[in-house]
Structure 1
């Protein structure tokens, strides 16, 4: 794309925004580090098409911050100020992502964003982890990204990136730890990126897979990259045979240039002896946290966070004792069954919920599929329990 083509496309998009939103004498801007406080405090307005085209984007965990569109316009208002975000990926013709506000409101909107940024939300409730694990998690991510810490690290000649690997059987806190870190990134204004197996496969299938993978593992400013369940890229090349896929991944980790610091948080369910030693070396992975099924104090802490009505209906120590060896996810499933029974017949019965849990586990192990949720009144389960 030539410069003339680029500016012509930008002018065309800006004209589409002003016609759709009525914003007069427009100024375009990119909020950068003020993006999250700006959008968090604004009211979401309508989605608007560009030249009659609107491509919606379904997203769950970040819908409050993501405009909900891949091609189109999202309008916002903040304290009476109307502004909009325009997104228009044009393939080989480039990609456009900018905000628009009236020149008369530009300075006022900037001040509102700065004020929102300085008014930090309180820290969210951390995940249920042992104190030493939680401290290690914080120090190697949020603490590492503290501006003063990063500057001191650079002054002393240290690396401006950190790698943390969360391992262990499914259901023992890896996802909840990442979810808490993600919320803290939003609260503190850190950039974040979520890399999933699907997004990784898409990058590997791009026209330039090396560059596409590097983009997945890069940020424009200090932030956290979450790399979830990417076992195919972590397994030992001596065990499964070296692959081009692993080589691209490992190259991406070392080929990234970051100005403001970066922390990688990787999760995997596979055994440590299957993880490529080249991936585990310092500089790629600096700390490993292995999360085992929770012990009694951790199960008690989890139960103490349940709704007061649920806690009042059970004997907490009895519940803690009966769930020995359970994962966090399994303890939560017993709670869900307890609630389903209560909704079904108005009675709280922990032992019945435990019996149902064991029956469900046995059936899941024996069957390829089974009903999940409430059974219909016309076709109850054989024992009268919720399906």
Structure 2
């Protein structure tokens, strides 16, 4: 190209800044030749070239040497001057330092790939991070396997918790006397083992506490820790498993190894169903390994004398059968919901830790909280204490306790719905019908209170409290309960007419139908069906079509007879029914004694009526705390 088109050589060399040509000796030589041919040998043009060559590019030493030779051998004074000027300018720009152009001492440089450099850098960074992650993970696994990880983090599942660390004692546990007796026996065995083994007997190796949530299983374990006076190990079922396979089994081994060194001792595993669930083929191998290790440690080849294992769970049916067999968990200790006496003891315990008003009747409160656990009773007392504090009272009043109970059972008061006076009147007569039938009918539970104060999904209710815990009901009691359920619907028909009956009795009819069906299919209270047990829907499906038709007919007969009795009761006591309904509209809430005084003696309450929010009488609209009409009876 230089032989025929020197202009193209100069243009190409200068157009791309010499990227492909100025770094080699041959490229610089051809460029200088082209400049000489066209008489363009100028220091201004050579200065950038010399500057690039002076920066140490590959083969730049030879190219620079060539320029120097051209300057020495050239005959053109202008060319010599240009090259000398360019070399002088390059040398002065480098701070007066001379550039070594000796080929025997080359300048060593590092090649940088300009294409795709950022991709390579990202790949190197990602690769480095991956290696660091793998190393850190492996190091953590090694520490955890050696038991050092938990120690470095300040914790440790193997740490022995002595009984003196628990501030709970058996005297603090009430409402579950049977379970407490079983555990007191274990504590006594740990203190004096000879007393139990002198005749060759052995106490169970393990006890399993079962029962609904909030009944005090963990509290019993804390009481054991406080009473036993022996090392007390505790863990939760979820604390054994982590992301590393085999860690759960290793932790089980460590726990039992530490317990063997402190024998006799107690191991408590809370929520044991997290690791002791039934095994199946779809389970992860890590879960199986943990459970298998627990089975071996509790009753395997090596004996664990002096170690008592106590487990707690809410789901006994979910546990593996190998775990709950004799030899591992020999005893099942049910911790059930407290009865009325147990609830009274729990409430007395919590009331001793707070300040109760003199008007508080613990017995009435215990009767009015059937089915509540110890945790729910604590929540009841706590909410009442908070409300009393907000209202500025000096002590917790009975009214605050009733408010807390209603809030837990039925929900909070609803204050946003606009209820007309007509709807309020319908609710009052509906609830008055329930209350009157309950007071007049023999065998019905005593009325605790009647209210049209809406809560949850109900605009009103009638609460009935049995005298004690009900484990069975007589035919008279069941018929009375049916009549009370029908009382609300009958009252609406008698007062407002059949065309104005509302849907508020839906829950009452559901309760009555379920009770009547149980009387026919389970309790043998039907001569037509006989003394035969039909176990729910599955059992009824096994019966013949004729038998199922008879069952439906008997259920309808029983409910119709109850409806007729409730109608007669309300017609016979129409005057008292009106009095009771008007008293509910005026006072909103009536106690059981006030309801009985109205129905049996015709005496209205002697107290100031409640202040209604934006209240009004007559046919005017009033704002009542409530919502849709779903009134009913609460037993």
* TM-score, reference length from structure 2: 0.35
Distance verdict in 2 for CA 1:201–1:318, change over 3 Å: same
Partner of 1:82: none
- 1:43-82: CA deviation from partner (whole Å, max 9, x where unpaired): xxxxxxxxxxx975699x969978xxxxxxxxxxxxxxxx
Instruction: Give the deviation of 1:248 after TM superposition.
Output: 2.1
Q: Does 1:179 align with 2:222?
A: yes
**Are the counterparts in 2 of residues 228 and 268 from structure 1 also a CA contact under 8 Å?**
yes
- 1:153-191: CA deviation from partner (whole Å, max 9, x where unpaired): 3x7665576200000110012121111111113xx2x01
Partner of 2:409: 358
Structure 1 unaligned blocks of 5 or more: 1-53, 67-120, 367-382
Instruction: Give the deviation of 1:224 after TM superposition.
Output: 0.8
Partner of 2:317: 273
**Are the counterparts in 2 of residues 195 and 216 from structure 1 also a CA contact under 8 Å?**
no
Tell me the distance in 2 between the aligned counterparts of 1:137 and 1:305: 20
**Are the counterparts in 1 of residues 176 and 336 from structure 2 also a CA contact under 8 Å?**
no
Secondary structure in 2 matching 1:305: helix
Alignment of 1:75-224 (within 5 A): 125-139=171-185, 141-149=186-194, 153=197, 162-185=205-228, 188=229, 190-201=230-241, 205=244, 209-218=248-257, 219=259, 220-224=262-266
Q: Does 1:231 align with 2:270?
A: no
Instruction: Give the deviation of 1:226 after TM superposition.
Output: 0.5
Instruction: Give the deviation of 1:274 after TM superposition.
Output: 2.2
- 1:130-154: CA deviation from partner (whole Å, max 9, x where unpaired): 4333221211x2122124437x63x
Tell me the distance in 2 between the aligned counterparts of 1:240 and 1:179: 36
What CA RMSD, in Å, does the superposition of the two structures yield over aligned residues? Answer: 3.9
Distance verdict in 2 for CA 1:311–1:280, change over 3 Å: farther
Distance verdict in 2 for CA 1:209–1:169, change over 3 Å: closer
The answer to which of 300-309 and 176-185 deviates more is: 300-309
Structure with greater strand percent: 1
Q: Does 1:318 align with 2:361?
A: no
User: Which structure ranks higher in relative contact order (CA pairs < 8 Å, sequence separation ≥ 6)?
Assistant: 1
Instruction: Give the deviation of 1:127 after TM superposition.
Output: 1.3
- 1:237-283: CA deviation from partner (whole Å, max 9, x where unpaired): 36976933322221222246445x1111100011x332211111111
- 1:203-225: CA deviation from partner (whole Å, max 9, x where unpaired): x9476654431222341221111
Tell me the distance in 2 between the aligned counterparts of 1:206 and 1:295: 45
Instruction: Give the deviation of 1:338 after TM superposition.
Output: 0.5
**Are the counterparts in 2 of residues 214 and 253 from structure 1 also a CA contact under 8 Å?**
no
Alignment of 1:64-75 (within 5 A): none
Residue from 319, 331, 340 that aligns with 1:296: 340
**Are the counterparts in 1 of residues 205 and 308 from structure 2 also a CA contact under 8 Å?**
yes
Tell me the distance in 2 between the aligned counterparts of 1:64 and 1:250: 26
**Are the counterparts in 2 of residues 206 and 212 from structure 1 also a CA contact under 8 Å?**
no
Alignment of 1:237-386 (within 5 A): 237=279, 243-255=288-300, 257-258=303-304, 261-270=306-315, 272-308=316-352, 309-310=355-356, 312-347=358-393, 348=397, 349-358=400-409
Structure with greater helix percent: 2
Larger radius of gyration: 2
Tell me the distance in 2 between the aligned counterparts of 1:122 and 1:356: 30
**Are the counterparts in 2 of residues 196 and 230 from structure 1 also a CA contact under 8 Å?**
yes
- 1:298-353: CA deviation from partner (whole Å, max 9, x where unpaired): 00111121234226452112211111111111111110100000111124322222
**Are the counterparts in 2 of residues 163 and 286 from structure 1 also a CA contact under 8 Å?**
yes
Tell me the distance in 1 between the aligned counterparts of 2:224 and 2:164: 16
Partner of 2:510: none
Distance verdict in 2 for CA 1:266–1:56, change over 3 Å: closer
Distance verdict in 2 for CA 1:332–1:284, change over 3 Å: same
* TM-score, reference length from structure 1: 0.55
Secondary structure in 2 matching 1:137: helix
Tell me the distance in 1 between the aligned counterparts of 2:168 and 2:383: 32
Secondary structure in 1 matching 2:205: strand
**Are the counterparts in 2 of residues 161 and 262 from structure 1 also a CA contact under 8 Å?**
no
Tell me the distance in 2 between the aligned counterparts of 1:58 and 1:209: 14
**Are the counterparts in 2 of residues 210 and 248 from structure 1 also a CA contact under 8 Å?**
yes
Structure 2 unaligned blocks of 5 or more: 1-151, 415-455, 458-624, 626-635
